[in-house]
Amino acid sequence: AKAAGKKRWRRFRPELHSRLVARHELQAGMDTAIADHAFALRYQPIVQVDDTALAGFEALIRWPHARRGMVPPDQFITLAEESGHIMPLGAWVLDHAAREISRWQRAHPRTPPLRASVNVSARQFRDPGLLDVVRRTLRSSGLAPGSLVLELTESVLMHGDVQIGTTMRALKDLGVSIAIDDFGTGFSSLSYLREFPIDLLKVDKTFIDDITTDRQQVALVEGIVRIAEVLGLQVVAEGIENEDQRALLADMGCRYGQGFLFARPLTAHQAEDFLHRAAPA
Ligand code: C2E
Ligand code: CA
Ligand code: CA
Ligand code: CA
């Protein structure tokens, strides 16, 4: 073991080193950042694919870091999951997103009811405290339970834990909706679509990317849309970047979409502006 340890450190690799430093720095700063509410949310509009009418927003976390600039979630969510920081961090995201979106809704009463979509990581979903966090969030934000969507990845379902189904049904009883994020990228079987009370599928961007040039991708997405129809699930296509993709998805009967074509993730201020412009006069 000693020899192996020596061997590992024989060659100094600067890029690996700086990644480790970054990781350590972010990990070390997380406690304070959580205590100081030093995170920020961006809000990406979710629209109807056929007429681009606003349907809701997905909250996406950022970490404005003194030395590292705006750190994207890919660089710290896994760390937060490993350390357990994801529980207070996830609770903050839920609470903050629900408050803001519910405030916009009240400020623009003519806007049709908006969905507030929040990402929930696997560890956070398995935490027994989640239900209380959701109940408290709904109470304090005034957000209609039917407006809240929790986005889970397939990895949550793959563990075959009975607790997962119980938590989902308790959320359904509260009136909250459940979405499967990055749908199609996991390795789980489709049977979970019947097994769990799922409301919505978010088709991963990788399926949408080549949809205008690759007939197999078209067939796959069309298949997902048909399956969803039969099972009574709504579909959101992720990562729509151009008009051809939008038109094709609209033809397939895919109802909702999200992507840079419609809007990038926006600051709260920009999002409220977007909503204001989208609202019927
Ligand atoms: P996701 O949930 O699949 O979110 C969609 C990601 O795709 C976002 O990246 C968004 O900015 C990006 N995106 C949206 N439309 C387009 C497009 O048209 N083109 C391209 N190229 N990208 C697009 P972001 O904000 O960096 O988030 C990355 C991931 O981090 C999210 O993927 C989600 O898994 C995770 N994440 C973000 N916020 C949270 C959070 O509050 N909690 C947890 N647990 N995870 C989060
Ligand atoms: Ca998501
Ligand atoms: Ca996604
Ligand atoms: Ca994704």
pLDDT at position 92 is 97
Distance 60 CA to ligand 1 centre (A): 6
- Amino acid (1-letter code) at residue 183: F
pLDDT class for 1, splitting at 50, 70, 90?
very low
- Mean pLDDT, the chain, whole residue set: 92
Q: What is the DSSP string of the chain?
A: -HHHHHHHTTS--HHHHHHHHHHHHHHHHHHHHHHTT--EEEEEEEEETTT--EEEEEEEEEEEETTTEEE-GGGTHHHHHHHSTHHHHHHHHHHHHHHHHHHHHHH-TTSPPPEEEEE--HHHHH-TTHHHHHHHHHHHH---GGGEEEEEEHHHHHT--HHHHHHHHHHHHHT-EEEEEEETSS---TTHHHHS---EEEE-HHHHTTTTT-HHHHHHHHHHHHHHHHHT-EEEE----SHHHHHHHHHHT--EE-STTT---B-HHHHHHHHHHHS--
- Residue 60, ligand 1, Cβ within 6 A: yes
pLDDT per position as a tens digit, 31-75: 999 999 999 999 999 999 999 999 999 999 999 998 889 999 999
- What is the value of pTM for the model shown? 0.93
- Residue 77, ligand 1, Cβ within 6 A: yes
pLDDT per position as a tens digit, 176-198: 999 999 998 887 778 888 889 99
- Residue 204, ligand 1, Cβ within 6 A: no
pLDDT per position as a tens digit, 152-177: 998 888 776 788 999 999 999 999 99
Distance 130 CA to ligand 3 centre (A): 21
- Residue 44, ligand 1, Cβ within 6 A: yes
Distance 119 CA to ligand 2 centre (A): 5
Do residues 224 and 183 lie in contact, with contact meaning Cβ atoms separated by under 8 Å? Answer: yes
pLDDT at position 158 is 79
pLDDT at position 10 is 63
- Residue 94, ligand 1, Cβ within 6 A: no
